[in-house]
Amino acid sequence: MSPEEERVPVPERGPEERKDDFDEVPLGYTPEQAMEEAERCLQCAKSPCIGGCPVEIEIPNFVEAVAEGNFQEALEIMKEFNVIPAITGRVCPQEEQCEEVCVMGNVGDPINIGKLERFIADYARENDLEEAPEIEEEKDLSVAIVGTGPSGITCAALLGQNGYQVTMYEALHEPGGVLKYGIPEFRLPNEVIDHELEYLDELDVDIKLNRIVGQNIELEELEEDFDAIYVATGAGSPRFLGLEGEDLKGVFSANEFLTRINLMKAYKFPEYDTPITDMEKVGVIGAGNVAMDSARCALRMGADSHILYRRTTEWSPARDEEIEHAKEEGVTFDTLCNPKRIIGDEDGWVDGIELFECTLEEPDDSGRPSPKILEDTEHKRDFDTVVIAIGQEPNKVFYENAKGVDVKDWGGIIIDDETRMTTKEGVFAGGDAVSGAATVIWAMGDGRTAAQNIMEYLED
Amino acid sequence: MHKITEKERLNEEMTRIEVEAPLVADKIKPGQFIVIRMHEKGERVPLTFYKKDKEKGTVQMIFQKVGKSTTELDTYEEGDELLDVVGPMGTAADIEDYGTVVCIGGGVGTPEVFPVAKALRNAGNEVIVISGFRTEDLVVCESDFDKGCANEIYITTDDGTYGREGFTSDVLEELIADEDTSLDLVHAVGPPIMMKVIAEITEEHDIDTRVSLNSIMLDATGMCGSCRVEVGEQMKLACVDGPEFDAHKVNFEELMQRITMFEEQEEEAMERWEEENGGCCR
Ligand SMILES: Cc1cc2nc3c(=O)[nH]c(=O)nc-3n(C[C@H](O)[C@H](O)[C@H](O)COP(=O)(O)OP(=O)(O)OC[C@H]3O[C@@H](n4cnc5c(N)ncnc54)[C@H](O)[C@@H]3O)c2cc1C
Ligand SMILES: Cc1cc2nc3c(=O)[nH]c(=O)nc-3n(C[C@H](O)[C@H](O)[C@H](O)COP(=O)(O)OP(=O)(O)OC[C@H]3O[C@@H](n4cnc5c(N)ncnc54)[C@H](O)[C@@H]3O)c2cc1C
Ligand code: SF4
Ligand code: SF4
Ligand code: FES
């Protein structure tokens, strides 16, 4: 490949250096590197990249501004579509979205849109490029937002910019949703999230923590006080396999494992009070982003860390970058195996997992080959810790107590495609609470669309 | 921030605190609990509510010093502030007129039983309280039950230094054996082993029984599964589905096993705390 066909490499901390700490792995571009990478963009007339982005950022204009060194302009273009570029630039599955359809990909490497996005956000933060947001004339209309994940944040920002009085309610003691309690700091530092939250502060968005709607405050109370409500409670309830041995000591849901380590900082125990068990050999069941994060956290807790997956790595739903990083750091991928049961010792601690071997057969509904369990292949592998990372579903505390808000049988909130309203007048919903576990950018896109719908609704 | 408005050491192990938390005081019901976090580095500690004062906007809890967090909490004085006081958490106890109800508290379970007993009495029940402690010095809340909340009170101590010698379950068995009383419901809160023994006794005599489970909680919002317990062969989350469950359906063996999961770390935290604080507070 000629130089123009190749990406400008992103400086990263090496696996040996990083696998013992929780500091960020990719270091990001310097201004020179970013400009050089942006230069490669062909400025295609049809710019398919825009269609590849769920929020349709004007990528060519943004990239051009970076190439010309007009960082302020680049930032403004970006922020018009995406209020949290520092976050999406880090965690978006770009390779399946904007970058997958980038024309440069036909002749060489696609433009590194994600890292440019991250660069511009980081550069702006570090160099105080951001100006105080312009708030439209203040309106006498108020909106409550339930949940402070990316969907809630985006909706709040848009409404705030347009002069609405916004109050957010968050169940936990910190805002940010999965960005804080799930995604580890080596992928998304808290400092980055906090900065994006400061923007909400500048918009006079009020965030009320420790308020669990349906538990210590009711939806009806919000309806009395607000003109509209946006529900973005995410999909935070852990799924278990229903396997024998799941109640053993040393078995965690990925949510518990990650929340202990990230939100509660158990990796700094006993300086921080919340503990996590000592672990030598960890088996993570699953292979999505959540599993990768769990496996990489286990590694940083000093364990020999294994991903147990019933397909092969190429079919893993995790981002390529995360799989690469996990492999480099030394996570072992045990593929084509399916757990039968978790085995315990006499004291009730995990001692191992009994697994079947699998083979791959014809594609299933997801388009991926379906794994088939091979009879009589059960065998035990030793583990002292098991993390179950097979997905999350909506937390029922909200919907079971929200009279009039209908949900599907699996708990996803039902909304009208057009208006984004739930079955209850004035109550809107979006993000993982509606779609089931998806991605940050989809949740954000939902927040954006909902904000627009809410404004239309309130103007009528 | 939530100011501590009162603090009283009840005995060597137990302390009562009253904190400002108007939102909690406004809504909390018998059987529900509160989560506190002392400071930035603190864990989320579940404590059952004992009393509330809506007008003052305060709630009271009684806690027992068992490890690092509760020992540290005991160093907080009147006027100090807790970072988070969250609640109400969990489901409220069902309060109806059942007839004759026995409320059983073991150790620090006794203050947890108090608001439930009081509500049951107000709902028209005949309320019998059995409250057990290791020894005389640890007896708490007796006067609460005196004040019109219980029709009968039995205090037991393991060593016989106060009240009747023996366990709460001994008294329960006597009550069951007494042909003049028929029991309609038992409500028990205490160490898992006590709740298990009580469940076994009442199951044999077919008396509806409820227990409040103290599994290990992390977020207490239904998000992590740390508090999972097996009830009626189904997995339930004690923090949002409970903490109260049908005692005859609870898998106590599993509960007793799971609550020892962090023993090693708990010891380490305690040792470090004692080192840093001159080994005083015990
Ligand atoms: C470990 C992990 C790694 C991931 N990695 C990636 C990735 O690399 N890239 C990617 O694009 N996506 C990733 N995802 C998915 C992505 O994080 C989610 O799709 C996204 O966060 C959903 O946003 P949301 O705003 O809908 O909900 P959430 O982020 O889940 O936020 C919901 C918020 O609502 C709060 N809440 C819930 N119930 C209530 C209530 N009753 N009252 C008040 N507040 C409530 C919750 O506490 C939470 O803070 C990952 C998810 C996990 C768990
Ligand atoms: C719903 C509920 C209500 C409770 N109400 C009261 C109460 O009113 N008064 C009272 O004194 N205690 C109560 N507890 C128990 C109290 O939460 C624990 O004693 C406390 O968390 C111990 O923390 P520690 O650091 O002092 O002790 P540690 O040394 O950490 O632990 C000592 C023991 O406490 C239990 N424990 C530890 N961490 C937790 C946790 N996060 N959640 C639950 N249990 C834990 C374990 O059994 C452990 O073996 C309640 C627990 C629950 C779940
Ligand atoms: S938000 Fe995601 S999909 Fe859109 S341009 Fe940025 S990295 Fe690509
Ligand atoms: S498709 Fe790729 S090369 Fe073309 S405009 Fe978009 S980013 Fe640039
Ligand atoms: S404590 Fe996390 S789900 Fe109950």
* CA–CA gap between residue B10 and residue B18 (Å, rounded): 13
Greatest CA separation for chain A: 70
Give the containing element (helix H, strand E) for A327.
helix A320-329
Who lines ligand 4 at CB under 6 A? A 41-44, 47-49, 59-60, 63, 102-104, 111, 113
Distance from the CA of A152 to the center of ligand 1, in angstroms?
10
Distance from the CA of A142 to the center of ligand 1, in angstroms?
24
By C-alpha distance, which of B101, B81, B93 is closest to B211?
B93
* CA–CA gap between residue A269 and residue B268 (Å, rounded): 10
By C-alpha distance, which of A72, A89, A82, A80 is closest to A31?
A72
Q: What is the pLDDT of residue A80?
A: 87
The reply to whether A40 touches chain B by the CB within 8 Å rule is no
Do B113 and B249 fall into the same domain? yes
* CA–CA gap between residue A238 and residue A236 (Å, rounded): 6
Do B132 and B246 fall into the same domain? yes
C-beta atoms surrounding A33 within 10 Å: 18
Kindly determine whether residue A247 and residue B24, on different chains, have CB atoms separated by under 8 Å: no
By C-alpha distance, which of A282, A291, A360 is closest to A319?
A291
Assign A36 to helix, strand or coil. helix
Beta carbons of A157 and A151 less than 8 angstroms apart: no
- Ligand 2 atom at shortest distance from the alpha carbon of B259: 47
**Could you report how far apart the first and last alpha carbons of chain B are, in Å?**
27
**Ligand approaching nearest to the C-alpha of A86:** 3
* CA–CA gap between residue B24 and residue B42 (Å, rounded): 20
CA-only gyration radius of chain B, Å: 18
Q: Tell me how far the alpha carbon of residue B278 is from its chain's centroid.
A: 30
* CA–CA gap between residue B91 and residue B88 (Å, rounded): 9
Residue B263 counted as domain residue: no
Kindly determine whether residue A250 and residue B264, on different chains, have CB atoms separated by under 8 Å: no
Alpha helices (runs of H) in chain B, residue ranges in sequence order: 22-27, 68-73, 109-122, 142-146, 168-177, 192-204, 252-258, 263-276
Q: Hey, what are A241's tokens?
A: 């396999």
Amino acid at B12: E
Residue B121 counted as domain residue: yes
DSSP states of A393-459: E--HHHHHT-TT--B-TTSPBP--TTT-B-SSTTEEE-THHHHSS--HHHHHHHHHHHHHHHHHHHH
Q: What is the pLDDT of residue A277?
A: 94
Query: A460 CB contacts (<8 Å, ≥6 apart)?
Result: none
Do B239 and B166 fall into the same domain? yes
Cross-chain CB nearest to A269 (options B37, B224, B265): B265
* CA–CA gap between residue B212 and residue B92 (Å, rounded): 11
pLDDT-flagged residues of chain B (< 50): 282
Give the containing element (helix H, strand E) for A329.
helix A320-329
What is the reported pTM? 0.94
Greatest CA separation for chain B: 58
Query: A28 CB contacts (<8 Å, ≥6 apart)?
Result: A10, A11, A115, A118, A119, A122
By C-alpha distance, which of B83, B78, B86, B19 is closest to B53?
B19
Alpha helices (runs of H) in A3-149, residue ranges in sequence order: 15-18, 31-39, 48-52, 59-67, 71-81, 85-91, 113-126
Beta bridge partners of A26: A12
Residue B162 counted as domain residue: yes
Beta carbons of A14 and A25 less than 8 angstroms apart: no
Cis ω before B243 (30° cut-off from 0):
yes
Q: What is the pLDDT of residue B207?
A: 94
Looking up tokens 């010309």, which residue turns up? Answer: A68
* CA–CA gap between residue A434 and residue A407 (Å, rounded): 9
Substitution candidate for ligand 5 out of B223, B236, B259 with most atoms within 8 A of CB: B223
Residue B265 counted as domain residue: no
Q: What is the pLDDT of residue B67?
A: 92
Do B70 and B118 fall into the same domain? no
* CB A284 near ligand 1, within 6 Å: no
* CA–CA gap between residue B219 and residue B208 (Å, rounded): 30
- Sort strands A304-309 and A281-285 into parallel, antiparallel or unpaired: parallel
Q: Hey, what are B66's tokens?
A: 């068992």
* CA–CA gap between residue A124 and residue A419 (Å, rounded): 35
Amino acid at B269: A
Do B31 and B124 fall into the same domain? no
The reply to whether A274 touches chain B by the CB within 8 Å rule is yes
Beta carbons of A238 and A388 less than 8 angstroms apart: yes
Do B253 and B126 fall into the same domain? yes
Looking up tokens 């007993």, which residue turns up? Answer: B117
Q: Which of B35, B54, B89 is the last residue of a domain?
A: B89
ipTM of model: 0.94
Assign B245 to helix, strand or coil. strand
Q: Which of B89, B118, B135 is the last residue of a domain?
A: B89
Residue B268 counted as domain residue: no
Alpha helices (runs of H) in A203-304, residue ranges in sequence order: 219-225, 254-258, 289-300
* CA–CA gap between residue A17 and residue A26 (Å, rounded): 12
Do B72 and B141 fall into the same domain? no
Kindly determine whether residue B261 and residue A249, on different chains, have CB atoms separated by under 8 Å: yes
Amino acid at A182: G
Mean pLDDT by 10 residues, chain A (460 residues): 79 88 91 95 93 93 95 92 92 92 92 95 89 82 97 95 96 95 93 91 94 95 96 94 94 97 93 94 95 96 95 90 92 94 95 94 85 92 96 91 93 94 96 93 94 93
Distance from CA of A239 to the nearest CA of B (A): 9
Cross-chain CB nearest to A238 (options B84, B224, B257): B224
Kindly determine whether residue B41 and residue A278, on different chains, have CB atoms separated by under 8 Å: no
| Long-range contacts from A408-413, C-beta under 8 angstroms, 24+ separation | A410/A436, A411/A237, A412/A436, A413/A231
CATH number at residue B43: 2.40.30.10
**Residue A347 to residues A343, A386, B255: CA-CA distances in angstroms?**
12, 16, 13
CATH number at residue B181: 3.40.50.80
Q: Hey, what are A139's tokens?
A: 């309106």
* CA–CA gap between residue A361 and residue A110 (Å, rounded): 32
Q: Hey, what are A19's tokens?
A: 């696998």
**Residue A293 to residues A8, A183, A323, A384, A388: CA-CA distances in angstroms?**
26, 7, 10, 18, 12
**What domain range is B136 assigned to?**
100-258
Do B80 and B108 fall into the same domain? no
Strands, sheet with A281-285, edge to edge from the N-terminal-most edge strand: A251-253, A385-388, A281-285, A304-309, A332-335
Residue B204 counted as domain residue: yes
Q: SS3 letters for A130-184?
A: CCCCCCCCCCCCEEEEECCCHHHHHHHHHHHHCCCEEEEECCCCCCCCHHHHCCC
Distance from the CA of B218 to the center of ligand 5, in angstroms?
6
* CA–CA gap between residue B79 and residue B84 (Å, rounded): 15
Do B112 and B85 fall into the same domain? no
Cross-chain CB nearest to B219 (options A259, A271, A276): A259
Q: Which residues of B touch A250 (CB under 8 A)?
A: 261
Domain count along chain B:
2
Beta carbons of B251 and B234 less than 8 angstroms apart: no
Residue B74 counted as domain residue: yes
Do B171 and B49 fall into the same domain? no
Do B65 and B107 fall into the same domain? no
* CA–CA gap between residue A200 and residue A447 (Å, rounded): 14
**Residue A185 to residues A182, A252, A296, B20, B255: CA-CA distances in angstroms?**
9, 20, 11, 34, 33
Do B62 and B123 fall into the same domain? no
Q: Which residues of A381-408 are buried (b: 16+ CB within 10 A; e: fewer)?
A: bebbbbbbbbbbbbbbbbbeebeebebe
Q: Which residues of B touch A396 (CB under 8 A)?
A: 222, 240
Q: Which of 213-232 (B) contact A at CB < 8 A?
A: 218-219, 221-226, 228, 230
Residue B200 counted as domain residue: yes
Q: Which of B68, B89, B110 is the last residue of a domain?
A: B89
Beta bridge partners of A252: A387
